[in-house]
Structure 1
């Protein structure tokens, strides 16, 4: 892999990771509701999920999409349904929070971590990114393992940067959103976006049939 190829991968990853997909949306919403330090547990879960997706994608997903398309569609459907369920849960939780006392109950760290892992594993963008984009930057005439290592470390560095940005952004808006019903509607917006992401994934699958 040449230096120019790595720069192209870095630029592509920087742009793709910045888009507000399910991982970044979760980082923003949890940073807003639970604070920066607590959300670090969720970011750790997101990173673990991405690592597992990377390992599975490089070894299995590309083969699965070509040789077992039905099972591949079942996996994507399960991911979409989880995102929809999470979005509905966030929407309903936002309304319940408005009617509760001002003391906010923060989930235990392991629950924040578990949610991060689950959302990351259900992220269709990451699955397609790993399976489709990584091979385009590999030089097959050179040893592959060092190239995989460079691409993986680059991706995780960029992804972590944007997760921290989204988390910090949510925390910075907390005071302003604490006025009136702003927080409730932002949380509902986050939940709606999760549902729309799920609907978009299901729609793409439907069109492909």
Structure 2
């Protein structure tokens, strides 16, 4: 991979990270409710899922994964139901002290990582992205250990940079709304985003 290809790949991964979809909507909702720190574990989970698909594509297993329709269907439904649950929790909460259980202080980092992983892993767009995208930058048949390490590093940096940018914007919105009434409206807006993310996940074919 040439320096130009590496830079182009990094930019493409960054843009892919901030493209609206179930993961971005869930991240915005989390940032609006739990702040920037509450988003970090969610972003890590999403990034781990993408790295897994990158490795699958690299070792020629992505096509097999793409055809595990029933397995991904079950994961997608479970992920969507969980997002519906989080959306309902946000709708029924009224103050900023009642944070979302998945990625707030009460939910723990592991819950956030799991949620992010499920959202990204159940999105067929992620699989197809790496299947169609990687061969334009590297020859997968001649990919060595050093090049693979570079690809993984670029993917992690690009994704985390984009996702953290989204999270920071959502967290800034949260800080604006300080009164109980405004916080209640913010929670309901975040809950609607969570429910919308779940609906998008269900609608994915």
Fold-level similarity (TM above 0.5): yes
Q: Deviations over 1:138-164 (max 9, x none)?
A: 136854433322222112111000111
SS of the aligned residue for 1:192 comes to helix
Aligned match of 1:192: 195
SS of the aligned residue for 1:126 comes to helix
Unaligned runs of 5+ in 2: 100-105
Query: Structure 2 CA distance, aligned partners of 1:38 and 1:26?
Result: 12
Query: Under a length normalisation based on structure 2, what TM-score does the superposition of the two structures give?
Result: 0.78
Q: Deviations over 1:115-148 (max 9, x none)?
A: 2232232233322222221122113685443332
Query: Structure 2 CA distance, aligned partners of 1:140 and 1:181?
Result: 50
Aligned match of 2:69: 73
| Aligned pairs for 1:28-177 within 5 A | 28-59=28-59, 60-65=61-66, 69=67, 72-98=68-94, 103-105=97-99, 106-139=106-139, 142-177=142-177
Please, what is the CA RMSD of the aligned residues?
A: 2.7
Aligned match of 1:205: none
Unaligned runs of 5+ in 1: 203-209
Query: Under a length normalisation based on structure 1, what TM-score does the superposition of the two structures give?
Result: 0.77
Q: Deviations over 1:38-93 (max 9, x none)?
A: 3323333333333333333433222444xxx3xx2213322431342133213311
Q: How far does residue 180 in structure 1 lie from its aligned partner after superposition?
A: 5.9
* Count of aligned positions: 195
Aligned match of 2:22: 22
